[in-house]
Amino acid sequence: MSPTHKWSTQTASDVINDGFGIELLDAKGVIHVTVFRCDADRTVTLYLPRPEERPPTEVLDWFYARAVLALDTFEDGSPLSPRDEWREITSRLSPPGKITLAVRIARALRRR
């Protein structure tokens, strides 16, 4: 069985910060990775809140492929930047406002 079967994704639109995000969750619903597409400045940010619990490479590759499909293009139709150009934040500290809000929105939607 593929190791990706223990993982899921969820998406959230962020109207305030003009963007869209996708998150990788484990079987317990813990967020391990967030990818946020900011349409305002046409950037993509990758946030790993638990670097010491980094998912296996096979799972990350699966998630990144899903992220590219889910995030599609920027609002103006421009393609996403290549994966190696995504800004990466690896920290247990609170991420920038854009991602914090995306996480809050996703959690609120999950509670409904």
Strand order in the sheet with 43-48: 8-14, 19-25, 31-38, 43-48, 87-90
- How does pLDDT run across 85-110, given as a tens digit for each residue? 888 877 554 444 444 555 555 555 55
Alpha-carbon gap, residue 87 to 99, rounded angstroms: 12
φ, ψ of residue 59 to 5 degrees: the values are -70, -45
- How does pLDDT run across 39-84, given as a tens digit for each residue? 998 999 888 888 788 899 999 999 999 999 999 999 999 999 888 8
Q: Global pTM? A: 0.76
Return the domain boundaries, the chain. 3-111
